[in-house]
Amino acid sequence: MRARYTLLAWTAAAATYVLIVLGAVVRITGSGMGCGDHWPLCNGHLLPPLHDIGTMIEWSHRLVAALVSALVVGLAVSSWWTADPGNPGLAPGVSRALWHW
């Protein structure tokens, strides 16, 4: 279980890094309104036509944000599910890592 928890944590961290980079791309290219004012839809569609590069950049940023949200929730649930009885709310090994920090 510990290896899967570690893999999930690294995957969440990597996806968060990709989200930050995509956020910078959205900002640099000025494609923040690529999906218009429609949230959570993109230009009124769940799967918008991706003929415009601004729409494609903004929509991919939204998809990665949804993925990061799911990974972080999964990590929190996994941490809670495998909590050490002596330290409620912490996954095994997390309390030791915090003390050695």
* Tokens matching residue 43: 């230009």
Residue pair 58/16 in contact by the 8 Å Cβ criterion? no
Question: Annotated catalytic residue: which of 26, 58, 59, 64?
Answer: 58
Instruction: Decide if 58 is catalytic.
Output: yes
Active centre residues (catalytic): 58
